[in-house]
A and B are shown apart, each in its own frame.
Chain A
Amino acid sequence: MSAAEKPKLPPTPMDRAPTPELGSAPIPKQRYISQDFMRREWEGMWTRTWLFAAFESDLAEAGDYTTFELGSESLLIVRQASGDIIARYNVCSHRGNRLREPGPGHASSFSCSYHGWRYGIDGGLEYAQDPESFPQGCPVEQLSLRPVRCERWGGFVFINLQPDAEPLRDYLGEIPEHLDPYHFEEMKILDDWTVEIDCNWKTSVDAFNEAYHIAGTHPDTLNINDDTDVPIDCYERHSRMWLKLALASPRHPDHGKLNEPIREHFLRSAGIDPETFTGGAEDVRPAIAKAVREIQGPALGADFSELGDAQLVDDFHYTLFPNLTFNLFGRSAWMFRHTPHPSDPDKMLFNFVNLVRAPSAEIPRPEPLRFRLEDDFEREPLGGGGKLLAQDFYNLPRIQRGMHSAGFSGLHLGEQELRIRHFHAVLDRYLDA
């Protein structure tokens, strides 16, 4: 079916979800710092939830594979000749050797570097040396790479370590209805890097799950966003918040004014010449939505008509429980994946992916990069948001160290931080199950 024949998707629902009653008790700090809680999370949650594992676009041809590193586990995600994508534990069934190093690649088969056992790209064992020497019977007929549940949505490949997990679609709930109009499957990857940070993975998730920190952590952005009116919607597992952009916060002297950053950044990037723009501050956001939908989209060969005005101008922040967060800007998106360290609750891996729909030029898929937090982030090629993230990353290890202090007992959360409370309530459902 061509793009023109595709039925138009309804726009992202804007109706408000009921506010959950979650009380006001402190969130105990042990949830962020204890080995025991980390073990409970692994057994009760990480091994039972659907997790983003790979981009479908990275697995174009049969035999293309990538690994997904989760804690101490490693999985192979492999494109089949049939077009299917499968997941298998990245471990030889013979003596437990890892089959492939972390990262993407291409294989016609997976040979073990220990005794040379060879598996097909479907995970079936094809060759074992001296098979008659196994009194249990020929290994080729008995052993294979252990399968893992693997399903797809929106160009993303998800895995679930629980063999009888519910289908991905059921787990995602309202998310496809909300996010399909963004068309992730059409987006190109501009940046893809991972940094190890000295904090718990939830410390990192929390840092992006509320707008209450904007005035304290990113005060230099108050001239382009309204951090005082940020609707929050909590769903069964997932949640979102809506941060309005291209206007100045009531906390900022530019509030109600059409200032230089809004003219130069927001109007210009929508293809509107700020010199000839005659509207006032309140006209900027509708003008941007109209220009993107009617002029910029068609010029770049993208149909933005399925996105509402707010989706084309503002920052919709979605958290897909447990560890995938999006800042959605209509034409582009930042995707953060927060994964636990294999053994240390005070460390985590932060993966940043910068996605853009309908780029003006052909963009080769960048190699995934690995940074240390000590690297100079403002000079590194972080794509958009480098300075913002550097401000958040400055806080994260300090928060983690502070949580260990006898002077701190737990998180004291306000209404603007409701998504953090909701996140812990969802986590508890897994841990108590």
Chain B
Amino acid sequence: MRLPPEVADLPSGSRQLVRVGALEVLVCNVAGEFFAFQNRCPHQDFSLEDARLRGHVIECSLHGGRFDVRDGCPTRAPTAERLVRYPVHVLDDRVEIEIPEPGSSP
């Protein structure tokens, strides 16, 4: 799925919330590399829109849980679950993400 063209201009070290239908996707640019995942902390489904991104680590503002955006793995409690990640491709200066069909295996 192609994201709006301005997503490609997201500065390094920042993130943007993108709505894809009913789905909220958080896109991060870390040193020129894009990462995308579902906008919810797996601990209590809290939005990560206000989460701080430092390097490859994003920190949920509710209870301080941390995740590595490269693989979605938690790096600090309270949760041991991963972020739901979407593969990202950059084609013709547009950022595209792969969203699996509902029911398909991740």
A→B interface (CB under 8 Å) = 100-101, 103, 105-109, 111, 113
The distance from the CB of B48 to the nearest CB of chain A, in whole angstroms, is 13
A-B contact pairs, 17 of them (CB 8 A): A100-B63, A100-B64, A101-B64, A103-B76, A105-B52, A105-B64, A107-B61, A107-B64, A108-B50, A108-B61, A109-B61, A111-B62, A111-B63, A113-B43, A113-B44, A113-B63, A113-B78
Residues of A within 8 A of B96 (CB): none
A113 CA to B43 CA, complexed, in Å? 10
Contact between chains at B76 and A101 (CB < 8 Å): yes
Q: A100-B63, A105-B59, A107-B61 are in contact. List 18 more A-B contacts (CB 8 A).
A: A100-B64, A101-B64, A101-B76, A101-B77, A101-B78, A103-B76, A105-B64, A105-B66, A106-B52, A106-B59, A106-B61, A107-B64, A108-B50, A108-B61, A109-B61, A111-B63, A113-B44, A113-B78
Provide the residues of chain B in CB contact with A105, threshold 8 Å. Answer: 52, 59, 64, 66
Q: Please give me the 7 A-B residue pairs with the lowest Cβ-Cβ distance, nearest first.
A: A106-B52, A105-B64, A101-B77, A100-B64, A113-B63, A111-B62, A101-B76
> Which has the most chain A C-beta neighbours within 10 Å: B44, B59, B63?
B63
B residues sitting closer than 8 Å to A (CB atoms) are: 43-44, 50, 52, 59, 61-64, 66, 76-78
Nearest opposing residue in chain A for B57, CB measure: A367
Chain A residues with CB under 8 A of B50: 108
A-B CB contacts (within 8 Å), total count: 25
Tell me the interface secondary structure of chain B in the complex.
loop
Closest A residue to B54 by beta carbon equals: A106
- Residues of chain A within 8 A (CB-CB) of B43 are 113
Tell me how far the C-beta of B62 lies from the nearest C-beta in chain A, rounded to whole angstroms.
5
**C-alpha gap A109/B61 in the complex (Å):** 8
CB contacts (< 8 Å) of A107 on chain B: these are 61, 64
Rounded to whole Å, the gap between the CB of A368 and the closest CB of chain B is: 12
Residues of A within 8 Å of B77, CB to CB, are 101
Query: Roughly how many angstroms separate A108 CA and B43 CA in the complex, as a whole number?
Result: 18
Q: In the complex the two chains form, what is the Cα distance from A151 to B63 in whole Å? A: 26
Contacts of A101 in B (CB 8 A): 64, 76-78
Q: B81 to nearest A CB, angstroms?
A: 14
A106 to B64, CA, bound (A): 8
Once the chains are docked, how many angstroms separate the CA of A288 from the CA of B65? Answer: 48
A114 to chain B, nearest CB (A): 10
The CA-CA distance from A105 to B59 in the complex, in Å, is 7
A113–B61 alpha-carbon span in the complex (Å)? 12
Chain B residues whose CB sits within 8 angstroms of the CB of A109 once the complex forms? 61
Distance (whole angstroms) from the CB of A366 to the closest CB of chain B: 11
Measured CA separation A237–B73 after assembly (Å): 46
Contacts of A113 in B (CB 8 A): 43-44, 63, 78
A100 nearest in chain B by CB position: B64
A111 to chain B, nearest CB (A): 5
The distance in angstroms between the C-alpha atoms of A111 and B62, with both chains bound, is: 6
